[in-house]
Amino acid sequence: MKCVHELVEERVRAVPDATALIDGDDRLTYAQLDARAARFAGLLAGHGVRHGDTVGVYLERSAELVATVLGILKAGAAYVILDPGFPAARLRAMAADAGVGAVVARRDTPLDGVGARPVHPEDAPAAVPLPPGAVRVTPDDLACVMFTSGSTGRPKGIAAPHRAVAETLTGQDFASFGPGAVWLQCAPLSWDAFAMELWGPLMNGGTCVLHPGRRPEPFVMARLVAEHGVTSMYLSSSFFNVIVDEYPGVLAGLRELLVGGEALSPPHVARALERHPGLRLSNGYGPVECMVFLTVHPVTPEDLRAGGPLPIGRPLAGKRLYVLDELLRGVPDGEAGELYAAGAGVAREYRGRPSLTAERFVAAGPGVVSTPSGERLYRTGDLVRRRPDGVLEYLGRADSQVKIRGFRVEPGEVESVLARHPGIDRAAVVAHEHSAGDRQLVAYVVLRADAQQAPTAKELSTYARTVLADYLVPAAFVTLDALPLTPSGKLDRAALPAPVEPAVGQQAPDAGNATVRTLCALFSQLLESGRAAGPDDDFFELGGHSLLAARLLGRVRAVFGVEIDIRTLFEARTPALLAPHVDRAPAAVPLRAPASASGPLPVSDAEQRLWFLDRIGAGAAYNLPMLVRLRGAVDPFALGDALADVADRHEVLRTLYDEADGVPVRRVVDGPDARPPFAHLHVSEAELEERVGREARRRFDLRTELPMRAALFTIRERPDEHALLVLVHHIAGDGWSLRPLFGDLSRAYEARVSEAGPGGGEGATGLDPLPVPYAEHARRRLDRLGSPDAPQSLAARQLAYWNGRLAGLPVEGPLLPRRPERPAVPGPDAGVVVRRLDAAAHARLVDFARDRGATLFMALHAALVTALVRAGADPDTAVAAPVAARAQETGAEDVVGFFVNLLVLRADASGDPTAAELLARVRDADLGAFAHQDVPFELVVGALNPVRLSGRQPFTDVVLALQNNARAEVTLPGADGGVELVRTGAARFELLVDVSESTRPDGTPGGLTLTFEYRADTLEESFADWLAEALPEALESAAADPDTRISQLALPEPPRRAGPDDRIEVPERAERPAHPARPLTALEQRTAAVWCDVLGLPDVGRHDDFFALGGNSLRAVRVAARLSTEGRPVTTAQIFAAPTVAALAAELERAAAGPSPAAAPIPRRPRVARQADQTTPHRGNRKQEDRQWTSA
């Protein structure tokens, strides 16, 4: 076993450029973090810190703190966190007990009498780095000292060696810490969970994201999870309950969640897993003396169905647990006993407390089964029961310790502090279960008879806060004449009266201000102190704490529609003080639907993208045709009414897109015109396929036609058999939308039929209005992004990332084997090849990715890069990927609409890496992209301003999509199977690799369907057939032998490798001359004038490039619109093909009398690739899986 810093140094050597730490905008690689820590270790050595010393750390949570503690370990010393939030007296006691000889603190931070020499981190950059291994440290040397509550009023310093940290957090499987794992560090710095959240990822190659500030704030946590792709998190049980109740969105996107510190609430667990079914939620148990966890139990549905407390699980690897009686003899399974721990993770001692160490760290006797006599055991003080299967159940405390908000508390420590007050004779402190589900401390005090003045509850609370941590301050004080005693003279805790209302603000004066009155009501609802809270009542003196504070802020957001951070509440503790902050606070994103949908509404960036593609002639490529086969009686009238009900609920389905000066304007239709077109057609069985295909390819006119229509086809030969085709333009829906669309249609149809029998009933509907419609989500998204011109806006920050990430990327996309006779402007015809992988192959891929901290999508991405490089693509290659873009939209799960954004994922396959190395590179690149997925693709392209090519979107020649969302369920009477997607035969991209993932009912992998859709007139058919063979082989070979270099993976040889002739010609932009040639003809002059107006330029030369001057796709639409008003039909495609004034004018004159191009024929069926043994053939031209546009 190695030391903590040595394990981190191993990661530095293995993955120096991987991201180790994220602190706000500061991202440190392993090499950068190690360099900072080495300099700090050198600084400590220069201040006389030697092997075996203990160094205090008096810093806020930051990258500086992390470099400090790592530097302390490199210097051979141990660290003790002196939390700046603790009272000065407590910090002095901690420093004294830990034997702190030096304290790291910033120069401007007073140390409040901590008797140790200061070391200033500001001096570290100038220090000489301490080389690795300069100080010899062993795993048994001290790594850190952590403090927990003590019964005498004196905190206990728990001394943990390197071995305790390293053995607990490496070589384990209770959580993922390795490459691809991203941990949020939000636990208090003084907790042992801090060590897990920090050292867990850093010792294993993962990434740690630091939460700003001293206290975790749920809305900040949600932002960090979304921005940085956080996969893993630890929460105390109480805080977990708050998150589930008030901020469930925090858990969106997590892969695993560990909860511990107190008994876990089964109802909260059930709600969390219901909302996030893919989340692995585990119940963790372990005292600080045993380093974070002794046991971890992944909660299962069976646990929840069983009722009762949730089990705490089995011991982690290397940890040995024993259930013993009072004589340290083992008790049989099923019987209660006290839990003792040995092995990995057990602390060395209580620092400076030999008698307490001897009491709690005991030697095993010969009666302990399978335990060497004399083995050192830690007595946890917890009562447990072991089931026959080895799983432990927690029964309660064997001593007086209790858990308050995740902190382990000795009530005796609080009693000892209160008894030292000059006005108190005796004190007793007990834990009281609050009606809100939280546990609070209540102090019962007997006043001194000779006290000159009886202290008030407020005075006692203030006194306690000067000595005790916040969580140790009693929430209520009850004055008694005497403490009740049992016949044996001990405190009779059962006889203590219920806590009375706090002795503050005895009356609740009427508050004239409406904000104050509302806040008083919110205080009262949460605190339940027995009376109405007054405007001057202190939230924390009424029993509030950080967890209740989080609930309060959630309700403030819901009631007032503003964001208040928890720091403000800690500084303005009363309704009267908090009200001005609420009145001045920035508005939160509204969660209510707008009162009216009339008038111009903002067009989302996703809608704008689809509108533009439609404008340049995408045709049927963005139709989304869905077919449902039905048997039995179907009421067409009720079905038509149900479709209208669905459109009434989802206004995007009854939206038209007008154009004003080349800009799309959405217009929601109401009344009879809002009813989607619906036809009932009788067809023969032989003509059904042709009629469905013809209808599926019929394009929409977005200006005059609603973006949804439907047709019910009834088979003439069998009138009880039907096929319902629902056709939606992609501007109004994505793959995610299928589930709410057909769920709502099923409910509406059932309501229509049951309301009035055949034919439906007037006003019958089973649907409620959406709380937040699509247009409101568009407005919220625009508000959240802000202006790209504002440097601190989300849009500007993310654009800065993409400008750096995609700089120098060739606009023509990957080099692929293309047809030599390919047209300059690709046509719409699609070729399709389908390949299937069975459940066993799917499971191997999932395991391969998970073992390396990656996702299935990342494994697919790496395999696709491998195949493309083998076919001749450059090692620096990029593919585009659609993402659902709903994570930041509260309430978007049930909304029909197009939320998708496109990301450009750049991968580096240079140097012939191994399959595992390439996956690690891809994982890092993809995580960076996903963390910056909010800014619209169009803004990214506009900022980069590449040369435009007619018929191509920049950077999207190759697109990889993973469809892994929940399958749409259809419960129409007689429905036979799920939703089938009909292929239109039109290609959207040069190459689309569309992977559909299916799962079995138990959640295990059920197989993959790989669909390769390509432009038939551009890519060679033999290449598509080869890729359909090579990609599955790349996946299987990488999973079977991850240490093989990608050039040696067992892939079939491509028919030919791409060469120079396959490159797409990209015209170079010439330097604009100082005096550009002036337009000559009248048409050139008119074109130049429109360009000047649209681009905001004083003049334009006849050879100037529209896009080089700052033009983009939407500005091109505006130019086309203005030139068309001159009586000449102008298309955006013409501007892309002829981007200079002279070329466009000439093109317009040539095209003035030219005929429109004929419609391209549509291929009927995809070809099926040759199958390996594990595959099954694809039949027909429909996919049974849902096409869900997400990627990770």
What does the alpha-carbon distance between residue 122 and residue 62 come to, in Å, rounded to a whole number? 14
Q: For residue 1052, give both structure tokens.
A: 């079939």
Total count of residues recorded for the chain: 1192
Residue 582 confidence (pLDDT) above 60: yes
Query: If you ran DSSP here, which 8-state letter would residue 161 be given?
Result: E
Report the CATH number that the domain containing residue 360 is assigned in CATH: 2.30.38.10
pLDDT of residue 645: 94
**Shared domain check, 447 and 332:** no
- 62 versus 1158: the higher-pLDDT residue is 62
Q: What is the reported pLDDT for 1190?
A: 28
For residues 296 and 402, which has the higher predicted lDDT (pLDDT)?
296
Instruction: State pLDDT tens for residues 401-452.
Output: 677 766 667 787 788 788 778 888 888 898 887 654 567 889 999 888 777 7
**Contact indicator for 725, 710 with CB cutoff of 8 Å:** yes
Q: Is residue 373 part of a domain?
A: yes
Q: What confidence tens digit (pLDDT) does each residue in 1039-1065 have?
A: 989 999 999 999 999 999 988 888 877
Confidence of residue 161 (pLDDT cuts 50, 70, 90): very high
State residue 366's pLDDT score.
55
Residue 449: exposed, middle, or buried by beta-carbon count in 10 A (0-12, 13-18, 19+)? exposed
- 760 φ, ψ (degrees, to nearest 5): 75, -175
pLDDT at 607 over 70: yes
Q: Half-sphere exposure (CA, 13 Å, Cβ side) for 490?
A: 3
Q: By percentage, how much of the chain surpasses pLDDT 70? A: 84
Say if CB 592 and CB 612 are below 8 A apart: no
pLDDT in tens, 244-288: 887 888 998 899 999 998 778 888 899 999 999 889 999 999 999
> Are 733 and 768 members of one domain?
yes
Average pLDDT, the chain: 82
pLDDT of residue 498: 76
DSSP string of 672-717, one letter each residue: GGGSPPEEEEEE-HHHHHHHHHHHHHPPP-TTTS-SEEEEEEEESS
What are the tokens at 1105? 């490039």
Q: How far apart are CA 733 and CA 604, in angstroms?
A: 13
Instruction: Answer whether residue 1030 is part of any domain.
Output: no
Query: Residue 850's pLDDT is what?
Result: 73
Q: 3-class DSSP state for residue 424?
A: strand
Closest CA to 190 of 116, 88, 265, 84: 84
Buried b (16+ CB within 10 A) or exposed e, 339-358: bbbbbbbbbbbbbbbeebbe
Q: Residue 336 is encoded by which pair of tokens? A: 């209660």
66 shares its domain with 101 = yes
Say whether pLDDT at 1076 is over 60: yes
CA quadruple 376, 380, 381, 384: dihedral, nearest 10: -110
pTM: 0.50
Does 509 lie in the same domain as 417? Answer: yes
CB 698 within 8 A of CB 620: yes
Contact 306, 282 (CB under 8 A): no
- The Cα 343–Cα 148 span in angstroms is 21
Contact between 867 and 1027 under an 8 Å Cβ cutoff? The reply is: yes
Q: Is residue 1182 part of a domain?
A: no
- Same domain? For 682 and 700 the reply is yes
CB 882 within 8 A of CB 900: yes
pLDDT in tens, 625-672: 888 888 888 889 999 999 999 999 999 999 998 877 667 888 899 888
412 & 385 share domain: no
One domain, residues 381 and 427: no
Tell me whether residue 685 is in a domain. yes
CA distance 409 to 1030: 60
201: left (phi over 0), alpha (psi -120 to 50) or beta: alpha
CB distance 172 to 316 below 8 Å: yes
CB of 421 within 8 A of CB of 451?
A: no
Range with the poorest average pLDDT among 455-464, 564-573, 776-785, 829-838: 564-573
Q: Are residues 628 and 561 in the same domain?
A: no
Query: Looking at residue 1075, what is its pLDDT?
Result: 63
For the chain, what is the radius of gyration of the CA atoms? 34
Distance CA 66, CA 441 (A): 33
The pair of structure tokens assigned to 658 is 């007008």
CB neighbours of 958 closer than 8 A, spacing ≥ 6? 813, 814, 816, 864, 868, 878, 879, 880, 989, 990, 991, 993
Average pLDDT over residues 935-943: 86
Predicted confidence at residue 1062, as pLDDT, reads 84
Domain boundary among 763, 780, 797: 780
Phi, psi of 491 (to 5 degrees): -60, 130
Q: Is residue 853 part of a domain?
A: no
Per-residue model confidence (pLDDT) at position 502: 38
Residue 11 lies in a domain: yes
Supply the angle between the helices 63-74 and 30-46 in degrees, to the nearest 10: 60
Mean local confidence (pLDDT), 105-114: 82
Residue 1176 pLDDT greater than 50, yes or no: no
Is beta strand 376-386 parallel, antiparallel or unpaired with respect to 336-343? antiparallel
Structural domain of residue 324, as residue ranges? 316-395
Confidence of residue 758 (pLDDT cuts 50, 70, 90): very low
Do residues 750 and 765 make contact, with C-beta atoms less than 8 angstroms apart? no
Average pLDDT over residues 526-533: 68
CA 832/CA 991 separation, integer angstroms: 10
Residue 1009 — left, alpha, or beta (φ > 0 → left; ψ -120 to 50 → alpha)? Answer: beta
Contact 902, 937 (CB under 8 A): yes
Instruction: Give pLDDT, residue 540.
Output: 65
Residue 378, pLDDT > 70, answer yes
The Cα 1052–Cα 1032 span in angstroms is 11
What is the average pLDDT across 1126-1144?
A: 75
Nearest of 995, 1027, 1056 to residue 866 by alpha carbon? 1027
Q: Has residue 1068 been placed in a domain? A: no
CATH code, domain with 10: 3.40.50.12780
Give the pLDDT confidence score for residue 782 in this predicted structure. 82
Minimum mean pLDDT range among 226-235, 688-697, 977-986: 977-986
Residue 436 · residue 472 · CB < 8 Å:
no
Structural tokens at position 449: 């008879």
Co-location of 492 and 457 in the same domain: yes
- Which residues does residue 727 pair with via DSSP β-bridges, in sequence order? 625, 709
Would you state the structure tokens that stand for residue 28, as one six-digit string? 């440190």
| Spatial distance between the Cα atoms of 616 and 1165, rounded to a whole number of angstroms | 27
Residue 731, in any domain of the structure: yes
Helix (H, G, I), strand (E, B), or coil: what is residue 1139?
A: coil
Angle at 545 between CA 539 and CA 551, to 5 degrees: 85
Q: Can you give the CATH number for the domain in which 414 is found?
A: 3.30.300.30
Q: Percent of the chain having pLDDT more than 90? A: 35
Q: What's 1106's domain CATH number?
A: 1.10.1200.10
Q: Is the pLDDT of residue 313 over 90?
A: yes
Residue 904 is which amino acid? V
Residues 617 and 494 in one domain: no
Distance CA 625, CA 727 (A): 4
CB contact burial 291-329 (16+ within 10 A = b; e otherwise): bbbbbbbebeeebeeeeebbbbbbbbebbbbbbbeeebe
Check residues 21 and 359 and name the one with the higher pLDDT: 21
Tell me which of 750, 780, 810 is where a domain ends: 780
* Mean pLDDT calculated for residue range 870-899: 82
Identify the band that residue 545 occupies on the pLDDT scale cut at 50, 70 and 90: low
Strand partners, 298: 282
Structure tokens at 305: 């169905």
- Distance (Å, whole) CA 31 – CA 594: 50
Q: Please list, in sequence order, all residues whose beta carbon lies within 8 angstroms of the beta carbon of residue 1156, skipping any fewer than 6 positions away.
A: none
* Backbone dihedral region for residue 87 (phi beyond 0: left; psi -120 to 50: alpha; all else: beta): beta
Angle 619-995-893 from CA coordinates, rounded to 5°: 80
Strands 655-660 and 830-837: unpaired
- Backbone phi, psi, residue 185, to 5°: -95, 100
So what's the pLDDT on residue 566? 65
Rounded mean pLDDT, 766-775: 82
Q: How many structural domains is the chain composed of?
A: 5
987: left (phi over 0), alpha (psi -120 to 50) or beta: beta
pLDDT > 60? residue 484: yes
Q: Do 647 and 709 reside in the same domain of the chain?
A: yes
Distance, in Å, from the CA atom of 986 to the CA atom of 873, rounded to the nearest integer, reads: 25
Q: Does residue 387 sit in the same domain as residue 353?
A: yes
